[in-house]
Amino acid sequence: MSRSIPLEIIDDQEDGRSQRRDAIANRKLILRTAEKLFAERGVHEVNMADIAQAAGVGKGTLYRRFTNKAALCLALMDAQMREFQNTMLERMRTMSANGVSRLEQLMHFLDALVHFTDAHVPLLCEIQREGMVTQDETSLQLPHFWQYMTVNGLLRAAREAGEIAPDLDVDYLADALLAPLKADIFRYQREVRGFSLERISQGLQTLVSGLRVCV
């Protein structure tokens, strides 16, 4: 697999060193506190003032550590996010080695992403709240960017391998396939429409299958 995905999620300021001890301590304290409150009352029901107070810290401090609620939520998912990425990269490497087609890899990726999204809807909703265009905070885009690059890369590879027609608009299709996985749409499908994970995954597979060259 020649395609390289050089993206790492860069957390707020994670130089490691050059951070003052109290800053690092507060960061962890805030994360732990937020995690606890979110678990108790739900992400949406907890506001920033609550978190600051529960952590015994000023609002200014809270906002110095995390630009906004979205950034805080992203930081809370960081570990699992990295793990997901690494697992996926690993699996795709294995699949490639075993001659699994690119489209099948894509389907596998989307299926995994469906489960990952489901497991983190509340946080993801908060992270994506402000929409994609307004969001200046570049790091908030990174998760989506990584997903996009992955799907895009797999489609490109599929195209080169002749699995899909050579004139397909890979750049657009990657976006379109990921659109139903945006947190609020996904949540709507789950909660209002009552779709199961399998059903959603299956539906996405259908769309991917449709790209396959008709033999």
Chain positions 93 to 132 lying near DNA, rule: CB under 7 A, are: 130
Total binding residues for DNA by CB under 7 A? 24
Got the DSSP string for 136-163?
A: --HHHHHHHHHHHHHHHHHHHHHHHTTS
From the number of C-beta atoms within 10 Å of its C-beta (0-12, 13-18, 19+), residue 18 rates as: exposed
Q: Rounded to the nearest whole angstrom, what is the least distance from the CB of residue 42 to DNA in the complex?
A: 12
Q: Rounded to the nearest whole angstrom, what is the least distance from the CB of residue 128 to DNA in the complex?
A: 12
Interface with DNA by CB under 7 A: which range of 60-68, 87-95, 110-118, 178-186? 60-68
Q: Rounded to the nearest whole angstrom, what is the least distance from the CB of residue 19 to its own copies in the complex?
A: 32
Binder of residue 166, out of its own copies, DNA, none (CB less than 5 to 8 A by kind): none
Q: Rounded to the nearest whole angstrom, what is the least distance from the CB of residue 51 to DNA in the complex?
A: 8
Binding flag, residue 138, its own copies (CB under 8 A): no
- H or E element, residue 112: helix 102-119
CA distance 81 to 149: 15
Please say which residue, 30 or 158, places its beta carbon nearer to DNA.
30
Half-sphere exposure of 63 toward its Cβ, with a 13 Å CA cutoff? 7
Q: Which of 141, 125, 143 is nearest to 69 (CA)?
A: 125
Binding flag, residue 64, DNA (CB under 7 A): yes
The label of the residue with tokens 């797999």 reads: 154
Interface with its own copies by CB under 8 A: which range of 23-31, 69-77, 85-93, 205-213? 205-213
Alpha carbon 164 to its chain's center: 26
At 59 the three-state DSSP class reads helix
Binding flag, residue 59, DNA (CB under 7 A): yes
Binding flag, residue 171, its own copies (CB under 8 A): yes
Binding flag, residue 57, DNA (CB under 7 A): yes
* Token pair for 13: 């300021």
Question: What are the angstrom distances between the C-alpha of 146 and each of 34, 124, 152, 175, 200?
Answer: 26, 15, 10, 12, 21
Instruction: Kindly write out the interface string for residues 12-51 of this chain, putting x where it contacts DNA by CB under 7 A and - elsewhere.
Output: -------xxxxx-xx--------------------xxx--
Please say which residue, 3 or 129, places its beta carbon nearer to its own copies.
129
Chain contacts with DNA (rule: CB under 7 A):
19-23, 25-26, 47-49, 56-61, 63-65, 67-70, 130
